[in-house]
């Protein structure tokens, strides 16, 4: 089992080195080394299972030498663009595709012009800001930036009328177990289904859409020198202007003291994974917002044992 796991992990580490946004000489050499270890593991564990693609994978190193990171040469961006073009409705009329693209472009330009008008509704201007932030778009030449100076009160009033104010949208009632955990006299807390992460994603409770957003890793007691622990967010709440979490920690696996976690060998290669029990503690643990390191991906390796991968 250990040999098979190492064989798979060598391929994972090679892929991590391959898909980095910047490629150094050491990264390229590490890729070759991990790929070689993976192929040797295949020969040992699965004799005869060698394909031409295993040989071709070694030539990716040559492309990295010539063109640097694979993000510069892979076809995903072009394929996504082709997919967008294909999704434009053309009524299956041959010869009218170019005209359809022109009309779609004109519609987009007209919408941008509306956003730049001084009498544009505040809600639309706010949506324009969100689009620019999400897609990294820059302002058009000659755009005055008036959308950045919308009166806060006017914007809040508009969003409240539309029902899109985030705090109202995600707020939930305070559960009894959280009140007991904090203080029975506490009445100033507000609970939410989800909140933003420092990276622009969301932390969420299990009842919210996207249960995987509730799985996180954190530093116990805020000690960043210690190894992180895994757990599940049960409650998100604000108290005195500070966001905090109530988390149920994953149980550790009982194992002999001399037995090392099999994934510990690959931490230095950027694959921070640990094995835990599939069960969570019944006790809630209060965790500050800045103690949380990142989300985790969980994979049930076998009944009772789960692998947690830090996604930072």
**pLDDT tens column, 53-81:** 888 888 888 888 888 788 777 777 778 77
Q: What is the pLDDT of residue 216?
A: 94
Q: At 92, is the pLDDT very low, low, confident or very high (cuts 50, 70, 90)? A: low
Q: Give how far the C-alpha of residue 99 lies from the chain's centroid of Cα atoms, to the nearest Å.
A: 38
pLDDT of the residue at 246? 93
Check pLDDT > 50 for residue 148: no
Q: Which residue has the higher pLDDT, 307 or 1?
A: 307
pLDDT at 295 > cutoff 90: yes
List the end-to-end C-alpha distance of the chain, in Å, as a whole number.
Answer: 27
On the 0-12 / 13-18 / 19+ scale of CB atoms within 10 A, 228 is: buried
SS3 73: coil
Residue 284 CA to residue 135 CA, distance in Å, equals: 38
The pLDDT value recorded for residue 197 is 85
pLDDT at 1 over 70: no
Q: 3-class DSSP state for residue 255? A: coil
Contact in structure between 129 and 148 (CB atoms under 8 Å): yes
Q: Bigger pLDDT: 198 or 105?
A: 198
Q: Which fold has domain 169-310?
A: SH3 type barrels. (2.30.30)
Q: What is the mean pLDDT of residues 12-40?
A: 87
Six-digit token string for 291: 């103690």
pLDDT tens string 202-229: 899 988 877 889 999 999 988 988 889 9
13 touches 34 (CB < 8 A): yes
Q: What is the pTM of this model?
A: 0.61
Domain ranges of the chain: 2-72, 122-163, 169-310
Per-residue pLDDT tens digits for 231-255: 999 999 888 778 899 999 999 887 6
């Amino acid at each position: 089992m250990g040999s098979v796991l190492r064989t798979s992990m060598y391929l994972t580490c090679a892929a991590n080195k391959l898909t980095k946004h910047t490629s150094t000489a050491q990264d390229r050499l590490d890729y070759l080394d991990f790929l070689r270890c993976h192929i040797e593991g295949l020969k040992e564990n699965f004799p005869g299972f060698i394909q031409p693609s295993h040989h071709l994978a070694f030539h990716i190193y040559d492309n990295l030498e010539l063109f640097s990171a694979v993000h510069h040469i892979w076809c995903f961006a072009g394929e996504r663009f082709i997919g967008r073009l294909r999704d434009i409705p053309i009524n299956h009329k041959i010869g009218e595709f170019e005209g359809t693209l022109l009309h779609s472009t004109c519609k987009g330009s007209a919408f941008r012009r509306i956003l730049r008008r001084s009498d544009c509704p505040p809600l639309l201007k706010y949506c324009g800001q969100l689009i620019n932030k999400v897609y990294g778009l820059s302002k058009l030449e000659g755009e005055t930036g008036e959308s950045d100076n919308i009166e806060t009160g006017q914007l809040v009033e508009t969003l409240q009328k539309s029902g899109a104010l985030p705090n109202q949208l995600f707020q939930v009632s305070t559960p009894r177990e959280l009140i007991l955990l904090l203080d029975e006299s506490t009445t100033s807390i507000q609970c939410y289904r989800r909140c933003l992460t420092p990276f622009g994603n969301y932390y969420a409770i299990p009842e919210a859409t996207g249960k995987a957003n509730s799985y996180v890793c954190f530093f116990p007691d805020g000690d960043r020198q210690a190894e992180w622990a895994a757990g599940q967010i049960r409650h998100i709440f604000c108290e005195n202007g500070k966001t905090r979490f109530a988390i149920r920690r994953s149980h550790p696996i009982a194992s002999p003291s001399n037995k090392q976690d099999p994934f510990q060998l690959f931490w230095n290669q950027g694959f921070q994974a640990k094995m835990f029990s599939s069960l969570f503690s019944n006790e809630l643990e209060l965790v500050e917002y800045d103690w949380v390191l990142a989300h985790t991906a969980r994979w049930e390796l076998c009944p009772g044992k789960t692998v947690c991968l830090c996604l930072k």
